[in-house]
Amino acid sequence: MKGMQKIVIWAMAFTVCSGVTFAQKAERKNVREGNKLYKNEKFTESEIAYRKSLDVNPNSFEGTFNLGDALYKQEKYPEAAEQYQLILGQGEKLLQDDPANAARLSQVLHNLGNIGMKNKDYAKSIEAYKQSLRLNPGDDETRYNLALAQKLLQNQENEDQSKDDQDKDQEQDEDKKEEEQEQKPQQQDDKKENKTQEEQQQNEQMSQDNAQQILDAFLQDEKDTQEKVKKAQAEQRQRRKTDKEW
């Protein structure tokens, strides 16, 4: 009975080992096929081969890294970045397993920096290039790209600042125009009010002048009337005197 159990266990172990070996062979076969297509610049076909390798082993470092490169060559930058991020998620383990993986991780970060440059996200590019250089300080291409990204970021910030200043000046001009527009009706109202006051004063002056003229005319008439009365009274007294003399 014990002998049978040992046979079953060995059979199962052999089956598992055979399955693992078969999967590894299938994975390597698809990766090799993808590499051949990649070298011939058949990036779409190489993408398909690398995906097949990942169907067999989703944790395949080679399959994931090369798939990211194939997607990058097709300018599928978001998809490529996704594959590179999967590799970075295993970064510590990869370095522990084999310190030589530092060069591959450095390349992953370099490519992420390039994707950031394509998207004009220079801050992300700078960070990716710096991390890449920490893993591979002798990479002159990454060092050059880092300097370029820093320069482009500075230019971008200067342009943004200039645009902000222009927008601020424009807003101030618009506010000034609005203020002037708001003041114009008030100024017009003030002018109208001043004009109305002037007209009123003129009317009052005219009314006063007319009243004075009427009063002067009345006084003149009264003076003439008094003189006439006085003259009539004098004539009457003269007649009475004449009559008495007769």
| pLDDT value of residue 49 | 96
In the chain, the amino acid numbered 85 is Q
| pLDDT value of residue 15 | 45
Measure the CA angle with vertex 15, ends 9 and 17; round to 5°: 100
Domains in the chain with CATH codes: 31-89 (1.25.40.10), 94-160 (1.25.40.10)
Provide the b/e sequence for 108-117 (b: ≥16 CB within 10 Å): bbbbbbbbbb
Tokens of 231: 């003259």
pLDDT tens column, 105-157: 999 999 999 999 999 999 999 999 999 999 999 999 999 999 999 999 999 99
pLDDT averaged over the chain?
80
pLDDT tens column, 175-220: 777 777 766 666 666 666 666 666 666 666 655 666 566 556 655 6
| pTM exceeds 0.85 for this model | no
